[in-house]
A and B are shown apart, each in its own frame.
Chain A
Amino acid sequence: MTTDKPGRVRSRGDARAHVAAAHAGRNHGPLTRITLYSFRHPWQAAAAIGATVIAAVLQLLIPRLLGHAVDQAQGILTTAGEGAEQALFWTAMSLLAVSVARGFFTLLQNYYSESVGHHVGYELRLAFYDKVQRLSYSYHDRVHSGDLITLGLLDLDGLRMFFSTGFIRTILLTVLIGVGAYMLLSTDMVLGLLALSFVPFVAWRSSVAQLTLRATWLVLQEKLSALTRVMEENLGGIRVVRAFSAQNFELGKFDAASRAALDLAHERVQVRVRNTSIMTFSFFVAMGLVLWVGGNKVMAGDMSVGTLASFLTFMTILQMPVRQLGLMVNSFARAATCGERFYGFLDQPLEIEDAPGVADLEVTDGTLHFEDVRFTYPGAKYPTLDGVSFEARAGQTIGIVGAPGSGKSTLAHLIPRFYDISGGRITIDGQDVSAVSLASLRRAVGVVQQDSFLFTTTIENNIAYGDPWSKETKIERAAESAQLHNYIMGLPAGYDTVVGERGVSLSGGQRQRLSIARSLVLKPAVMVFDDSTAAIDAGTEHRIRSAIKRFASNRVTLVISHRLSSLLHADMILFLDGGKIVERGTHEELLALGGRYRALYDLQTRPVDDLEMGSAAR
């Protein structure tokens, strides 16, 4: 029934510790910070470093041994006898042993450095997820969800991989190139310099290439996502496309976007090709020089063939790592920019959070009180709510009306403290909402939003979202009250029907009813309908309301609605304009007043006669 079976909870008090640790080290730069964070796995990190050094040294031994072997093989003819052959045998065994050991330590190096990366990735993901959940509405209003997803996918990846692709690789390359150069130069200065001559050139080219590729990669991603958007919107809006016979127009849009991406892709191929070819070439040129100069030395008797052979194999071994210098540089650049963004996100101050040792909200009779409440959105010039006061007692229904932008939804969002008010006070049963724990507050206040987000899971799980321990009966009762039960039972899979992005699509009205049921499960003391019955017909809405009344007789209900017929039975109606309550009273009182409310009422009830349509209008 559920997509995930309830399982035993893995013992992991660590999860919270990981999150806390990810927030530490604010005074460090991103690279230092991620390195320090990686060392929270000291044993694995130490194993990775140790194995890296050992593997590099072992790798450098191989050319030496090969050189010995060549010399010994050559010496066999002159110093014939048991001894020479035995020496050769031992060299061969050493070669085998060193190779096996090198393989083993490379395994440890790769595995442990990846393991650190995966652990760090796991922990940063937890920290990221936790932060997303904690940041308040005003942050999420500002930041596009797509940008957050990029942050949690790509930036996090660039950061977690730094240990293996940046840090460990630096150690590997330092040992290989440093010790290798020392060995070559101490054996023969001139030949050593020739053998290493390709290193700086390749290091430079590969760094330039990687940085160019990275820069163009970012642009290419943009071009590709523009192309994706064209395709996605075309397919999603296929009816509009067909309705306007715009197929050719759309193909033109596609071609333009596609062309831009293709050109850039070609350019990237060129950058890559130019650099790999020239790097290989410079390596071979150096090898040719070693062969030429070394060969002459051998002929002159200044050097053995084995030494020359070991020089040549040294070069072969160094070739790959030197090329990886570019990857290393890239890893540093990537981790620095990704880290800046990622840590910038983690370090966001929480605008709304529990004060330490805060008490839970204690609901007694559920009186809601607004006292001169003022609220201004961050960055806005004018207040959205400008001194709103009213009181709603248990069992009352308060209607809120006003033009778009008059502050109705904002008012709803202030009660569960999705935003903090800029002045005044909101209390429930005398307790300031900003002085009680967020969890207790939000359980006590149920806001049914205008635009209800459904999770891709069963209807049952969606209804039980706020209380996943609910028994089946509770879920069904909530669905019954929301006038959704009969519809659900008509579905082939009933309550197990999967809805949401990847499930059965529900109509606007059904979604709203589901979201009402979801709120009802929590039995909130204060229930707020934020224009959440707009897509539900008047009859059904009425039935929902009376169902709620039956068991929520002691609750406060706030109804924000465009449809005045929804508010006929409200105990009090507030008419908001420019953040102020300009009229208040019952439906009859406000009609009698003959003010703004009256005008709106007339607008809604008499549109038919005012407006004519079709040919009659001509």
Chain B
Amino acid sequence: MSVIEDNDSDVAAFPGQRPPRASVGSHRIEEEVFGKAYDPKTVRRIWAFVRPYRMKIYLSVAAVLVFTATQLAIPLIIGFAIDRGMVQGGDATNLLWAVAAFAVVVAINYAASWVQESQVGQVAENVLFDMRRAMFAQLQRVSLSFMDKTEVGRLMSRLQGDVNSMQEFLETSVISVGDVVLLFGIVVVLLTLDFRLGLLTLSTMPILFVVRIFWLPPAKRAFWAAHESNSITNGAMAEGINGVRTVQNLDRQKVNFDLYDDKAYANLRTQLTGSRYAQVMVPIVDTLTGMAMAIVVVVGGSLVLNGGLQIGVIVAFLFYIQRFFDPIRSLTMQYSIMQRAMTSGRRITDVLDIPATINDKPDAVTLTRDMDGSVEFRDVVFGYSADRPVLRNVSFTVKPGETVALVGPTGSGKTSAMSLVHRFYEVQGGAVMVGGHDVRDVTQESLGEQVAMVLQEPFLFTGSIFDNIRYNKASATREDVIAAARAVGAHDFIERLPGGYDSVLEQRGSNLSLGQRQLLSFARALVADAKILVLDEATANIDSYTERQIQKALLTLLEGRTGMVIAHRLATIRGADRIIVLQNGELIENGNHDELMALDGLYARLYNMNYASFDDIPDELVAAGGPRAAST
């Protein structure tokens, strides 16, 4: 190994450039959505969620139709009032009638808009929450092998982003029904009022359509780019905040500031481009509106001269023109919303369709507390994929009340064996028996009640310490919780916290030390009061004081229970009644410490190497021995 030289750094090779090995932030590129806007299969699935609220949907569609009709009626009434009520020869009663009609229409408009908006809004919210719950409930049932492969962040974006775009779709789609009706309504009314003038005025409408068709794709790309660059910049900012200590530690502020500036500046450019695309439509629509008004004024005027048109009709036309282009604008937008919704809908149904591979048998029995608490592995074959077995024909028995230590190098199958006791996965061959029952023959819930697990990484939930220790054991009283905390030696530090047992853990207990979190997870398992305890000992080194406390707590925890411990520390291993040594998925040694030492196999070799933990022993040292025949 050579020495790091000073000239190993090469600033000069990159004059005026960013350093070659630096970046800030990371960003997962989201798939751009340009998919189908209508997919019957997805729509059917979505409909299933809307169905319970269908009466409300029908009601709001009806309200939208009424609402649109009133909007169409208002210019007509004004036109009528002018022609029949005001211009020479007009009749005062006609004006009165017109105003009365106006009042009625306005009242209906008020009611319809109220019904429509409140119904649609609530249904959309309800559907959103229902979909989210369905997905969440499904995720509670899907097999762990699926969860192992899937990033939590990805699932969260299903549970949040995708349901939100469904909500947006539902809210806007009822409104687009109104838009379509309004569009057709305006066309029909204009043509009926005066066919020639109507036709001429309407001729401006397709222009907008054509313009929008050309405008939409590049505009969408620009909006997407703006959205992307914004989340890239935000990601870099979040990283800067979360990693600020390391940044200061390694004096990277200057480099990072410049790199961040690059991203923020690129974001500024894409935002401005997006802005330009959005705003360019404004003068186009205004120009078309101006053209339509000019047509009405010039052509309408000459029609009046020829006696073919009344003045009120012109006024009505001018009113319609003000509303003319709105439906076209929102309908073209609706297309993108639908595309997005279909993609989201497909992702949502993908989650709902993840099979729950582990289910209770119809005749599954309840595992009760009076079972004996034995665990038996019978010729267990298991692997995460069929061709790569992790456990091969493993057989052993743990007698009631016995503590067994599972040891072996990383990848030997210890953790998998432990997961099988709780039926996190299904065995490929053989059987795992708990209390004399095949785990596949008992209900999962009762199995969970009788088999408590402590995982290597203590996972706590945001909430009070009390809630964390009690967790789902609703029957546990405050006294039970305190007793458990005392038993594992956590009571003292809990009492010292400002709120005692009601102290709220922030961010999964990041305000506690690792050792303290471990003790809490022990207390939680103690409250669960199961017959069998499966425990994966932590590998991380904890200071000796806490370490000692944890060792003591472990004793308390195992008292009166059958224990299976994946042990890393010599102290734990030597204290067990029996030691099972696994290697490459096979059980190679089985016996107590003295027996295994006498056997002079892998265990004896590992033990003599005096490593603090069995996990970090380099592979080459483990491999040197090779597997041995199992002995009992």
Query: Does A104 sit within 8 A of B, measured CB to CB?
Result: yes
Q: Is the CB of B424 within 8 A of A235?
A: no
Q: Is the CB of B448 within 8 A of A106?
A: no
Query: Does B546 sit within 8 A of A, measured CB to CB?
Result: yes
**Given contacts A103-B284, A457-B23, A537-B617, A132 and B304 within 8 Å (CB-CB):** no
Query: Does B224 sit within 8 A of A, measured CB to CB?
Result: no
Query: Does A155 sit within 8 A of B, measured CB to CB?
Result: no
**Given contacts A288-B102, A309-B318, A468 and B305 within 8 Å (CB-CB):** no
- Could you say which residues of chain A place their CB within 8 Å of the CB of B202? none
Chain A 451-476 interface mask (CB, 8 Å, partner B; 1/0): 01101110011001111111101110
- Could you say which residues of chain A place their CB within 8 Å of the CB of B95? 292, 295-296, 299
Query: Does B44 sit within 8 A of A, measured CB to CB?
Result: no
Q: Is the CB of B286 within 8 A of A106?
A: yes
Q: Is the CB of A266 within 8 A of B122?
A: yes
Chain B 1-40 interface mask (CB, 8 Å, partner A; 1/0): 1111110111101101111111101101000000000000
Binds A, one of B180-188, B329-337, B432-440, B571-579: B571-579
Query: Does B279 sit within 8 A of A, measured CB to CB?
Result: yes
Q: Is the CB of B279 within 8 A of A111?
A: yes
Q: Tell me how far the C-beta of B249 lies from the nearest C-beta in chain A, rounded to whole angstroms.
A: 6
Instruction: Tell which of A73, A98, A565 has the most Cβ of chain B within 10 Å.
Output: A73
Query: Does B315 sit within 8 A of A, measured CB to CB?
Result: yes
Bound form: Cα–Cα A528–B14 in Å: 31
In-complex Cβ contact of A6 among B19, B268, B472 (8 A): B19
Q: Tell me how far the C-beta of A410 lies from the nearest C-beta in chain B, rounded to whole angstroms.
A: 14
In-complex Cβ contact of A134 among B117, B253, B278, B424 (8 A): B253
Query: Does A614 sit within 8 A of B, measured CB to CB?
Result: yes
Query: Does A372 sit within 8 A of B, measured CB to CB?
Result: no
Query: Does A591 sit within 8 A of B, measured CB to CB?
Result: no
Query: Does B471 sit within 8 A of A, measured CB to CB?
Result: yes
Query: Does A28 sit within 8 A of B, measured CB to CB?
Result: no
Query: Does B631 sit within 8 A of A, measured CB to CB?
Result: no
In-complex Cβ contact of A3 among B26, B444, B548 (8 A): B26
**Given contacts A66-B318, A92-B298, A245 and B255 within 8 Å (CB-CB):** no
Please provide the chain A residues from 518 to 554 with a CB less than 8 Å away from any CB of chain B in the complex.
Answer: 518-523, 534-540, 547, 550-551
**Given contacts A140-B245, A262-B126, A502-B26, A74 and B4 within 8 Å (CB-CB):** no
Bound form: Cα–Cα A156–B113 in Å: 36
- Could you say which residues of chain B place their CB within 8 Å of the CB of A480? 1
Instruction: Tell which of A442, A449, A465, A551 has the most Cβ of chain B within 10 Å.
Output: A465
Query: Does B588 sit within 8 A of A, measured CB to CB?
Result: no
In-complex Cβ contact of B448 among A85, A153, A242, A313 (8 A): A242
Q: Is the CB of A276 within 8 A of B452?
A: no
Q: Is the CB of A617 within 8 A of B284?
A: no
**Given contacts A140-B245, A244-B472, A617-B559, A93 and B294 within 8 Å (CB-CB):** yes
**Given contacts A273-B121, A523-B4, A508 and B539 within 8 Å (CB-CB):** yes
Bound form: Cα–Cα A125–B567 in Å: 50
In-complex Cβ contact of A536 among B155, B271, B616 (8 A): B616
Please provide the chain B residues from 258 to 298 with a CB less than 8 Å away from any CB of chain A in the complex.
Answer: 258-262, 264-265, 267-268, 271-272, 275-276, 278-280, 282-287, 289-291, 293-295, 297-298
Q: Is the CB of B144 within 8 A of A91?
A: no
- Could you say which residues of chain A place their CB within 8 Å of the CB of B311? 70, 73-74, 305
Query: Does B518 sit within 8 A of A, measured CB to CB?
Result: no
Bound form: Cα–Cα A547–B403 in Å: 42
Q: Is the CB of A500 within 8 A of B448?
A: no
Query: Does A588 sit within 8 A of B, measured CB to CB?
Result: no
Number of residues of chain B lying within 8 A (CB) of chain A: 186
- Could you say which residues of chain B place their CB within 8 Å of the CB of A133? 240, 244, 247-248, 253, 256-257
- Could you say which residues of chain A place their CB within 8 Å of the CB of B278? 110
Chain B 296-325 interface mask (CB, 8 Å, partner A; 1/0): 011011101100000100110011001000
**Given contacts A242-B424, A452-B246, A276 and B113 within 8 Å (CB-CB):** yes
Query: Does B58 sit within 8 A of A, measured CB to CB?
Result: no
Q: Is the CB of A281 within 8 A of B106?
A: yes
Q: Is the CB of A242 within 8 A of B422?
A: yes
**Chain B residue at smallest Cβ distance from A458:** B21
Q: Is the CB of A316 within 8 A of B319?
A: yes
Instruction: Tell which of B20, B264, B554 has the most Cβ of chain A within 10 Å.
Output: B20
**Given contacts A242-B448, A466-B250, A132 and B129 within 8 Å (CB-CB):** no
Chain A 483-511 interface mask (CB, 8 Å, partner B; 1/0): 00000000000000010111100001100
Bound form: Cα–Cα A503–B153 in Å: 12
In-complex Cβ contact of A291 among B98, B445, B613 (8 A): B98
Chain A 572-616 interface mask (CB, 8 Å, partner B; 1/0): 000000000000000000000000000010011001100111111
**Given contacts A247-B140, A292-B99, A254 and B109 within 8 Å (CB-CB):** no
Q: Tell me how far the C-beta of B86 lies from the nearest C-beta in chain A, rounded to whole angstroms.
A: 4
Query: Does A232 sit within 8 A of B, measured CB to CB?
Result: yes
Pairs A–B under 8 Å by Cβ, sample size 14: A98-B290, A106-B282, A129-B260, A149-B237, A228-B160, A239-B453, A244-B448, A244-B524, A284-B109, A298-B87, A453-B243, A455-B26, A523-B6, A539-B616
Closest 9 interchain pairs by CB?
A245-B448, A613-B575, A99-B290, A103-B286, A614-B403, A537-B616, A103-B283, A468-B19, A456-B26
